């Protein structure tokens, strides 16, 4: 029986890792052993930061909404605004609210007015 060598498969696997490490500094970009460690760590960071990106965007939207709400009414805070939306039965997520606050200030002002009316009632 003939001997089977794993050269083709091993080379393909190494090539895949080194390709993923393209652009890294020093031996991390061309030495398989070091490149594999760098690529594994990069994948760990990427997985973790996909969750963090969602948190960061939510925090950004909340800051934008808070600033826009306060520009319409000094006494109204973000927390009271969201409570007013709930009481008014308006179900708009924070991403859309932040976008409205930036691009459609008149429409956002109308939403703020509805939230204020719901809080006053």
Distance, CA of 35 to CA of 38 (rounded, Å): 5
pTM: 0.78
Query: What is the tens place of the pLDDT at every residue in 53-64?
Result: 999 999 999 999
Query: What is the tens place of the pLDDT at every residue in 87-98?
Result: 999 999 999 999
Can you give the residue ranges of every domain in the chain?
11-120
Q: What is the CATH number of domain 11-120?
A: 1.10.1900.20
């Amino acid at each position: 029986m003939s001997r089977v060598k794993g050269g083709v498969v091993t080379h393909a696997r190494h090539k895949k890792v080194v390709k993923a490490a393209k652009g890294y500094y020093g031996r991390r970009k061309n030495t398989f052993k070091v490149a594999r460690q760098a690529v594994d760590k990069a994948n760990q960071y990427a997985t973790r930061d996909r969750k963090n990106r969602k948190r960061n965007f939510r925090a950004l939207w909340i800051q934008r909404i808070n600033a826009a709400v306060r520009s319409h009414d000094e006494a109204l805070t973000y927390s009271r605004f969201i409570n007013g939306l709930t009481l008014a039965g308006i179900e708009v997520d924070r991403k859309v609210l932040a976008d409205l606050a930036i691009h459609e200030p008149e429409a956002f002002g109308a939403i703020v007015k509805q939230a204020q009316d719901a809080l006053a009632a």
